[in-house]
Amino acid sequence: MKFFIDTANVEAIRRAHERGMVDGVTTNPTLVAKEGRDFRQIVEEIASFVKGPISLEVVSEDAEGMMKEARELNGWIDNAAIKIPMTWEGLKAVKMCAEEGIKTNVTLVFSPNQALLAAKAGATFVSPFIGRLDDVGHYGMQLVSDIVEIYNNYDFETEVIVASVRHPVHVYEAALIGADIVTMPPAVLDKMVNHPLTDVGIKRFLADWEKVRKVSR
């Protein structure tokens, strides 16, 4: 299972990278806006140490505008994946990107049929938004499970990125389903290592080792 980090904060990505847990990065306009910095500069800094795919989102709403942006963003770094929203115009752009060898990540996916369309258009990645579905009372992870089953039925090569992840249980459930990738905020990765019994266990081992030290030469 690949771990992507869902942020445009370079320091947070670097921290996760130093822990050996970054297979790629996803950004979106909201995450980039939070940083208050030049987009291209952020992207180049991330690409200086992240070798896996870095998702960069277009903001045009027509296929032609999306393609113009896709070509430009793709020229910034060697490992861009162009994030394109799930619309008919977006799907046209995805198909053109596939023909030009530009990697794509179809975003804002909320139904199995949308994911099916993305795969047929030749998307490299598809991003079902789990947390946002949970927020409106749907069981988001069911969508991931449906997409994985559909893609397996037809051997689609599009990889599933579980997105809009809010907590470690989302990662656990995605892993049980066998999703290719989870993209998570740095805070979720931080929490994954924690368990109170691990802390108690370490404390006890250290205390007992003190007893060994006292009787050792």
Interface ranges with ligand E4P (CB under 6 A): 6, 26, 28, 107, 127, 129, 131-132, 163-164, 183
Q: Which is nearer to ligand E4P, 30 or 194 (CB)?
A: 30
Q: Over the range 36-58, which residues count as b (16 or more CB within 10 Å of their CB) and which as e? A: eeebeebbebbbeebebbbbbbb
Pick between residue 52 and residue 131 the one whose CB is nearest to ligand E4P.
Answer: 131
Q: How many CB atoms lie within 10 A of CB 3?
A: 20
Q: Which is nearer to ligand E4P, 26 or 104 (CB)?
A: 26
Query: Which one of 34, 83, 120, 191 is the catalytic residue?
Result: 83
- Three-state DSSP state, 214: helix
Rounded to a whole number of angstroms, the minimum distance from the CB of residue 187 to ligand E4P is: 11
| Cα separation, 198 vs 15, whole angstroms | 22
Strands (E), 159-216: 159-162, 181-184
CB of 37 to ligand E4P, least distance (A): 18
State the residue number with the nearest CB to ligand E4P.
164
Nearest to 184 by CA among 176, 172, 200, 202: 172
- Cβ proximity to ligand E4P, 17 vs 83, nearer residue: 83
Q: How far is the CB of 13 from ligand E4P (least distance, A)?
A: 14
Alpha-carbon gap, residue 168 to 122, rounded angstroms: 30
The span from the CA of 161 to the CA of 25, in Å, is: 11
| 211 catalytic per annotation | no
In the complex, the smallest distance separating the C-beta of residue 171 from ligand E4P, rounded to whole angstroms, is 12
Q: Do the beta carbons of residue 162 and residue 128 sit within 8 Å?
A: yes
Nearer to ligand E4P by C-beta: 9 or 28?
28
Please, what is the minimum distance in Å from the beta carbon of residue 184 to ligand E4P? 8
Question: Which are the catalytic amino acids?
Answer: 83
